[in-house]
Structure 1
Amino acid sequence: MFSLFFYTWGEKELVVLILLSTLVDYTSGLLISYGKRRLGLYFSIGFNVSILLYFKYANFISGNLIGALEFLNMSSENALQFSNIALPLGISFYTFQTMSYTIDVYRGQVKASKNFIDFATYVTLFPQLIAGPIVRYAVIEKELKNRTVTTSLFYEGVERFIIGLSKKMIIANNCALLADGVFNLPASESSAIIAWLGIIAYSFQIYFDFSGYSDMAIGLGKMFGFNFPENFNYPYIAKSIREFWRRWHITLSTWFRDYLYISLGGNRKGPWRTYIHLIIVFFITGLWHGASWTFVFWGLFHGMFLIIERVLENKHLKVPALLSHVYVIFVLNISWVFFRSDTMADSFQYIATMFNFSLQTNMEFLNYYLTKELIFVLFAALILSTPIYKKVMYYTTHSTMTFTNYTLFSPLKSIGLFMLLIICFTYIATDSYNPFIYFRF
């Protein structure tokens, strides 16, 4: 009930949609368990895809249709009725989550839930409802029926929540100031240095924004006795785009792998079919992130490099680790331009500026944005986007920790977390509204 109240508070009457989705997938699971396998599967997929198409993509389809009709000098009046449809919060996440349930039931990997309250709790769990992680039913099936909340697990959840909140408020929001400033700067006033600083800041912003939300969701889950899956594993240390997708938004990439890529045939039907499957998967991955050609291009851009990597892998071409890492960072920064820009024209204009080293640097802009606070945040983002801090903490707490040292370290750690929480509250009190990036997906 609390989760439904949480969702209703923000979405009001649109809560009916998530309730309807819950009822449809609960019924679909029962249909599959009673022998109506195809009916249950198609009912679930058909309903969830339909509401996604209508609520998330009707505006996109309408806009492109209007443009095509106007180009052909035809009336676009009828298409206008689909051009202003509200996007329900979290619809991309809860539709994928419920579809994974019915597909798993169809495949025999989980048993259909006979308890509607348990299933509704699974769908509407408020910590991860809005922006993931995408939790599969099998992961928390036992915890829905019987879970234990311990003091240590609750403290672990609080610690994880504070770390996630700090990622968002201290790092992501400060990086957003620079990224927004650069992307809003007219091309005539920008330069290569400014453009690269802007996209690097955005790379840190989106990582710490989204991984911060995932940390907060995982932390809240632990407070209530749920163990949600990890969603990030230092993606910026990847040495290939393929490895990047094993580390970035893990619950989404594994969803596409298990329910789309493998269903299409995966890599079992030869290299050319594999490449086609990758293009389909990353086309849909881009479209999942947003109803815009920039997102579609972003997805296809990643798909293209995945294909290139497979071709080179088949030729047994090995590249030094450092060079591979530089290549990945370069490709990711170019791809984030399309993810961040409003239009394809804006994207290409921004990229052109990134490589136009003849432009004079706007020092007034840099002096305004590159404050000591922001420079410190960018440095912290660089360090924390690698496992260096994690390894230092592990070494401190496991390799050299004596009982005496532990009694000193533990209170210091708690004080540090409390100070982070105070800093976050200070930012919340003074900053303007800055929602999580993935709220709009």
Structure 2
Amino acid sequence: MLFNSYVFLLLFLPLTLAVYVTLGRLRWRWAMGWLVLVSLGFYAWWSPDPSEAWTPFYLILILASCAGNFWCGRSIAHTSSPRRRFALLSLGVGANLALLAYYKYLGLFATLLNGATGWPHEIPHLVLPLAVSFFTFLQVAYLVDAHRGITKDYNFNDYLLFVTFFPHLIAGPLVHHTELMPQFNAQAARPGRRQFAVGLTLLAVGLFKKVVIADYVARTATPLFDFAASGARPLLFGEAWAAALGYTMQIYFDFSGYSDMAIGIAYFFGIRLPLNFNSPYKATSIVDFWRRWHITLSRFLREYLYFPLGGNRRGPARRYSNLLVTMVLGGLWHGAGVTFFLWGLLHGVYLCVNHGWAAIRERAGWGPLPRGVAIPLTFLAVVMAWVPFRAGSYELSANGSAEAAWKTTHGIYASMVGLNGWESWPAKGAEIVKSSRAWRPLIAAMLIAWLLPNSQRWLGRYSPHYGPAVIAPTERRRMWQWRPTWPWMLLVLGLLYAVGREFNKLSEFIYFQF
């Protein structure tokens, strides 16, 4: 079920909220139980076969995963023997990774085996269970924390809701048990009018980002990438840059729009989810970018992979190797393909260069680069890395291949540096997309991303997300700060009107495939 669908907005969400509020007035645990039921129903609604309303197997799979991890976590927490605790942790983490590897990496393994041995092994194409990467990582973190002794004696109902709570289940944020489960009580999670007004505003902003901006920009990026993948002819210089910049804007507004909707919908129920985006394209370095982009994934990679590998405690060489390993695995978490490996490797190299430059600058006593230089340089590096990430979809598709993804990446890179022609765009002959339709929305999207305050700053005085405020107290009096007044509500209605005009062109969120 998509957040940007009529069935969700006009049926599922209002009904869920109405019953939740009613049950909350009678007995709070009933309201929490209701959230568990509707979250499981939300997950079960999805089916890989369009002819079927739902597939019970995947619901059974996530329930079995939750039950097994809950048992394993409690067993670790209640066992005093260090050897037995480690054995249980290994069992739990191994089972989670085996599930993820079976569905996500079996095809890659078969491809590599065929290439290494020359044997004609059949390459299986398995349907990836919805959100398997997200709920697997949530539970791995829970097991590791149980081994560290920092989990509490939660009940299964709260644990199941922590994993399956429908606003974050499909594409994050990657919540931590210490953030979410303490909110599952009457004092912390009883919604009111303020929560509804703030939640509706965030929902409207998220829908506008997805339906009006991301999907519109995709009408430029997608045909250009598809044309490059077809091999009919190389893209020209302008076309290649339109494709790369288009996808850069598409994925930001698509994913941050989803995160805004998730935070807003959760806030309807009086529950705060952690911040996942904080204007990443305003970053002044790659390190700063990863503090702003997919913040909860960055936290997971840092705390459960980079630090256990040794972090920066064993000298520069070890730090750089740890960064490379962490980012490559982060890339492969998104997809089992050579281009996702390349995306992770690029960001790993970027981070190594960033830390190396910072060390040189500190020794030389130089100041930081001016923002007018640092922001465009960082943005350019990010744009270049998005090219193989987008091309990875041609490898993940049922009839795709690593060769097609790599050729698409190589071809667009060559075009971006002018190796395939500098002719004016559009070229002679049939246009791939109209140039006027391509550049005007692209420029508008970039201006919005760079010049306007993000949604969390706009609503900063109400702190709808979990965690520290993103604005200083002095900013709360500024004119652009949202307030529950009629002028601001008219703006929200205007956003919803614009969304409604585009609602006949529904599309999935990009991160649904991960």
Determine the structure 2 residue equivalent to 1:369: 434
Counterpart residue type for residue 386 of structure 1 = W
How has the CA–CA distance of structure 1 residues 349 and 144 changed in structure 2, closer, same or farther, with 3 Å as cutoff?
Answer: same
Counterpart residue type for residue 4 of structure 1 = L
Q: CA deviation at 1:45?
A: 0.7
Counterpart residue type for residue 127 of structure 1 = P
| Conserved 8 A contact 2:235-2:412 | no
Note if 1:320 corresponds to 2:361.
no
1:152-191 to 2 correspondences below 5 Å: 152-186=194-228, 188=233, 190-191=235-236
Is the partner of 2:190 in helix, strand or coil? coil
The CA distance in 2 between the partners of 1:239 and 1:217, in whole Å, is 27
Determine the structure 2 residue equivalent to 1:231: 276
Determine the structure 2 residue equivalent to 1:425: 500
The CA distance in 1 between the partners of 2:332 and 2:165, in whole Å, is 25
Where does the alignment leave 5 or more consecutive residues of structure 2 unmatched?
1-36, 48-54, 395-404, 461-473
Is the partner of 2:450 in helix, strand or coil? coil
Q: CA deviation at 1:412?
A: 2.1
The CA distance in 2 between the partners of 1:228 and 1:399, in whole Å, is 25
Note if 1:27 corresponds to 2:75.
no
Q: Which of 160, 175, 180 is equivalent to 1:140?
A: 180
| Conserved 8 A contact 1:190-1:361 | no
The CA distance in 2 between the partners of 1:400 and 1:67, in whole Å, is 61
Q: How many residues are treated as equivalent by the alignment? A: 426
Q: TM-score, normalised by structure 2?
A: 0.78
Per-residue CA deviations over 1:250-308 (Å, capped at 9, x if unaligned) read: 00001000111111111011111111111110110110011110000110011011111
Note if 1:86 corresponds to 2:127.
yes
| Conserved 8 A contact 1:48-1:95 | yes
Q: CA deviation at 1:66?
A: 2.3
More helix by share: 1
Per-residue CA deviations over 1:137-164 (Å, capped at 9, x if unaligned) read: 1001221233211110121111111111
Q: TM-score, normalised by structure 1?
A: 0.90
Per-residue CA deviations over 1:386-416 (Å, capped at 9, x if unaligned) read: 35345789899724699xx98xx92122122
Is the partner of 1:122 in helix, strand or coil? helix
| Conserved 8 A contact 1:190-1:362 | no
The CA distance in 1 between the partners of 2:68 and 2:204, in whole Å, is 36
1:275-354 to 2 correspondences below 5 Å: 275-316=320-361, 318=366, 319-321=368-370, 322-341=372-391, 342=394, 343-354=405-416
The CA distance in 2 between the partners of 1:368 and 1:255, in whole Å, is 39
Per-residue CA deviations over 1:229-256 (Å, capped at 9, x if unaligned) read: 0100111111111111111000000100
Is the partner of 2:172 in helix, strand or coil? coil
Determine the structure 1 residue equivalent to 2:146: 105
Q: Which deviates more from structure 2 when the two are superposed, residues 249-258 or residues 145-154? A: 145-154
Q: Which of 308, 331, 335 is equivalent to 1:263?
A: 308
Per-residue CA deviations over 1:163-191 (Å, capped at 9, x if unaligned) read: 11110000000111100122123463631
Q: CA deviation at 1:314?
A: 1.6
Note if 1:241 corresponds to 2:286.
yes
Determine the structure 2 residue equivalent to 1:398: 477
The CA distance in 2 between the partners of 1:178 and 1:339, in whole Å, is 17
Counterpart residue type for residue 163 of structure 1 = V
Where does the alignment leave 5 or more consecutive residues of structure 1 unmatched?
none
Q: CA deviation at 1:21?
A: 1.2
Determine the structure 2 residue equivalent to 1:16: 60
The CA distance in 2 between the partners of 1:140 and 1:94, in whole Å, is 14
Q: CA deviation at 1:219?
A: 0.7
| Conserved 8 A contact 1:189-1:362 | no
The CA distance in 2 between the partners of 1:133 and 1:156, in whole Å, is 18
The CA distance in 2 between the partners of 1:345 and 1:376, in whole Å, is 29
Determine the structure 2 residue equivalent to 1:69: 117
Is the partner of 1:184 in helix, strand or coil? helix
| Conserved 8 A contact 1:175-1:204 | yes
RMSD: 2.4
The CA distance in 2 between the partners of 1:380 and 1:46, in whole Å, is 46
Note if 1:385 corresponds to 2:449.
yes
Q: CA deviation at 1:37?
A: 2.2
Counterpart residue type for residue 45 of structure 2 = W
| Conserved 8 A contact 1:383-1:389 | no
Q: Which deviates more from structure 2 when the two are superposed, residues 41-50 or residues 129-138? A: 41-50
Determine the structure 1 residue equivalent to 2:108: 60
- Identical-pair percentage: 33
4+ residue runs of structure 1 moved beyond 4 angstroms? 364-368, 390-397
Counterpart residue type for residue 416 of structure 1 = L
Counterpart residue type for residue 38 of structure 2 = F
